[in-house]
Structure 1
Amino acid sequence: MITAFVDMVGLLMVIPLLPFFARDLGGGGLWVGVLVSAFSAAQLLSAPLWGRVSDRYGRRPALLVGLGAAAISYVVFAFAGSLWVLLVSRLVQGAGGGTVGVVQAYVADTTEPQDRARSLGWLSAATNVGVAIGPVMGSASLGFGRPAPGLMAAGLCAINMVFAWMFLTETHTGSARDGSGKKPARSRELVRNVLARPGEPAPRLIWIYAIGMGAFAGFSSILALFMAVRFGVTEKTIGYVFLWNGTISVIARALLLGRLVDRLGEARLARLGQMLLGAGLLLIPLTWRVAGGTEVDPPGGAWSIPLDVRWLVTGGALLLLAVSTWATRKVEMGDRVRLVGFLALLCAAAVMVVVWQHPAPLNAGLPDHFPLQYRFVVLALTITLVPLGTAFTFPCVTALLSRVIDARERGVTMGVQQSFGGAARVISPLWAGWAFDHLGTPYPFWTSAVLVLGTLFLTFGIDPASGREAPVTKSV
């Protein structure tokens, strides 16, 4: 966990600065998407290889080589003088980042099946402490010059390699064959199975993970640009936005995840996480309208809705959101009731999007400018839904996946999971950057929300598939 934490600190020292560095070098929103996607593309190609190497030669050597590649990439990032050199640094960093599946397999090797969701949650909490600290360190280090964030990240990677060499013990002693002489599945076979048989338990879980990860990648890649345009955030202050996200995620994973897994089960908690993530992505673009943004939209024309009507409809939609969320998370209710609640949630979210998409003039009853503190309070409350959603979804989905696959294939299967997540992370930032430039600031968030909420249907029946009985709540 310490290795994962330090690695994430280095990674997040540079990621929030990418949009601003790209802008300084002449790039726009699409270039930001390319830089973010380059990391994921390299990770996509390397993750199955890292999984196979770790299954055959051990987790420890794979982690050490990956950390070395990351250190080199940060040095290149520090002295990048053009967009193309910046792109090279991201590709090298992504190749080293393919070891995420190795880290997850390391944790799975050292825990019992019933404890994996909690252990993976602690792993996620450790990485999210890095997510919280890294951006602030990166923004603060800019005071020492532009190369400082990259050089500091490289130094952290070097320290991490020394720690891993000295203290990490090998947990996997298997080879390409087990005692029965049966070969574990190859990466290509598993990829074909995910594409050809999406209804089976493991492929369903991989699709849920990939779509959720892609949505989160699009959110992360465009958030800095959204904050700069709508709230005037700069490269010296963007770190605090990521600090908030990381703090919420750490609290959720360290204090809430284990208790909620015991009460709801992994599959139901994953569904709750998907709902929170989708709701956050739907509502974030609306915060600047409600709280008074920095830009003035054109008049609504024939679509303009009086402001008092908007607030009345929004209040009713929020009430429907609350009721439908309660219905979808009740353990004792059947899948049909939860499905109705989910559809009601979608309808409520759609109503709010429609009534606020075509704004009334700024002088239609709402003050022209709200205090800066109020705007950021509204934004913080809305953004909180995203880290809460990811904190519940990803550890539970990964734990469920580890329960439905053979232990000998755990490393390569989780590598394939990371590959599908990487494919989504390649496509999503590219779409987010293009949509931000050509369609408008809300659309990267809204398209991701639709996809995330759509995966709720894939989670039904996952508990029986994993061999775990759904928990039953006790009446008080």
Structure 2
Amino acid sequence: MTKSPKKSIIFVLIVTALDTAGLGIIYPVLPQLIEDLVNTDISTAATYGGWLTFAYALMQFFFAPVLGNLSDRYGRRSVLLISLFGFTLDYLFLAFAQNIIWLFIGRIIAGITGASYSVAAASIADISTDENRTKNFGYINAAYSSGLIIGPVIGGLLGQFGTHIPFIAAAVLSFGNFVFGYFMFPDTLDKSDRRKFELKRANPFGSFKHLSKFPTIITLIVAMFFMAIAGHSMPSVWAYFTIEKFDWNVELIGYSLAFLGLLSIIVQSWLVGILAKKLGDDKMTIFGLLFSIVGYLLIAFSNVEWLLIPAMIINVIGSVQRTGFQSIISSQVSKSEQGELQGSLSSLLGLATIIAPPLLTMVFTHFTKNESSDIYFPGAPYLIAVFLTIISLIIMFINYKNRKKPVANKRI
């Protein structure tokens, strides 16, 4: 039997926060490292940075289902440790890179082994009950956000001592996380709940095909995928949008992102539990989608800086939809298939990471710098986010109604 669910939850939250912090540490100095290695300007460095993200996301798309299925066969612990060790190797390649090829090798390794979040989510599903599943998913999302706040701050401070120092720190942090997990993490998946590894299900296409036997899940996963693309409007466009429209500097952009992260921790660790208890997962998800629409609209049409503050607050409150989707989808699948499910979700999120950044940034460029466009509208990417969120809301509403029909028929 699985030992101490509380201990396992605490470990999963620590792993998630430290893992995300390791990623966040390298964000402030990665552009400078690329500039140094390629001996180029920041504009060209951004292009290389985009391709590095592409390489990582592409590997995630193909290998997240493999690791998810392996965790269903051999348990969460082993796969999580492999993932943490892979990130350690990635950071070492970045720290001691002699040329840009080293960076790509490191990012590819991280993409192949980077299943830490999906396996952590599967672990949460293993040890959660119907009563606390949503709250626990809220905790893991809060831990993810806390890492995104802590990491960049540490990276910015360490970056003053050299561009390689933050990467060494990230490697030490990741390896420490590996050692901590090796000695402290009890597997959350009982041997009786494990299943045979099947190669045909251990790829994104085979995994999606298998999940098609759950029609309820497929429609919700589509909605979640659209929201993942919409959600990329913040990390992909926010800095460019605020610079273009309000002439913000790097420091102000950093503060705004930290503010978003702090709000996310509050929402995911506190508000999610309250809303799930009062509204239930379905209505909480619909509530979140409605708030997301309002938040994106406010950002898109903001003409004064102060309007961005309520827009950010409303948008982060809307993020409860992500936790709602996770909880509903997870509740429809058995323990022996949680790893496969979370791997498939990670693969889809990787696909969203491949599609969203170039799509949204190209739209931004078209409506701000492209002479062929007659319309100047920096908020255009956020209108795309509004459109995708509306589609997700419609899908969620229809799905909710369909799932309630059998219950209504039984009462007649």
Q: Is the structural similarity TM-score above 0.5?
A: yes
Q: Which runs of 5+ in 2 are unaligned?
A: 1-12, 36-40, 369-377, 408-412
Larger radius of gyration: 1
Q: Which residue of 2 aligns with 1:450?
A: 387
Percent identical residues? 26
Indicate the residue corresponding to 1:154 in structure 2. Answer: 171
- Any conservation in 1 of the 2:21–2:151 contact (CA below 8 Å)? yes
Give the whole-Å Cα distance in 1 for the aligned partners of 2:52 and 2:362. Answer: 13
1:128 touches 1:250 (CA, 8 Å); kept in 2?
A: yes
TM-score when scaled to structure 1? 0.71
Residue from 260, 281, 306 that aligns with 2:296: 281
Counterpart position of 1:336: none
Is residue 240 of structure 1 aligned with residue 240 of structure 2?
Answer: no
Work out the CA distance in 2 between the residues paired with 1:439 and 1:31: 23
1:459 aligns with 2:396: yes
Which residue in the other structure is 1:104 paired with?
A: 121
Superposition deviation, residue 283 in structure 1: 2.7
Q: In 1, distance between residues paired with 2:32 and 2:233? A: 17
Alpha-carbon offset, residue 419 of structure 1 = 1.1
Task: Please name the residue that 2:10 is paired with.
Answer: none
Deviation at 1:437, TM superposition (A): 3.1
CA deviations 1:337-366 (Å, max 9, x no partner) are xxxxxxxxxxxxxxxxxxxxxxxxxxxxxx
Matches within 5 A, 1:384-403: 384-390=313-319, 392-403=320-331
Match of 1:8 among 15, 20, 23: 20
- Residue 437 (structure 1) aligns with: 365
Q: Is the 8 A contact 2:75 2:188 kept in 1?
A: yes
Mean CA deviation greater in 15-24 or 457-466? 15-24
| Contact residue 217 and residue 429 of structure 1 kept, 8 A | yes
224-233 vs 267-276, which moves further = 224-233
Deviation at 1:154, TM superposition (A): 1.4
Instruction: Kindly report which structure 2 residues correspond to 1:16-415, keeping only aligned pairs within 5 A, or say none.
Output: 18=30, 24=41, 26-27=43-44, 30-80=47-97, 84-174=101-191, 186-187=201-202, 188-192=205-209, 200-233=215-248, 238-287=253-302, 290-291=303-304, 375=305, 377-390=306-319, 392-415=320-343
Letter in 2 for 1:383: M
Equivalent-residue separation in structure 2 for 1:378 and 1:266 (angstroms) = 30
Q: After alignment, is 201-210 or 223-232 more displaced?
A: 223-232
Aligned-residue RMSD, C-alpha: 3.1
Question: Aligned-pair distance for 1:403?
Answer: 1.4
Shift of the 407–383 alpha-carbon distance from structure 1 to 2, 3 Å rule, reads same
Q: 1:386 to 1:148 in 2, by over 3 A?
A: farther
Q: Please, what TM-score do these two structures have when normalized by structure 2?
A: 0.82
Aligned to 1:308: none
**Contact 1:176/1:183, CA 8 A, preserved across alignment:** no
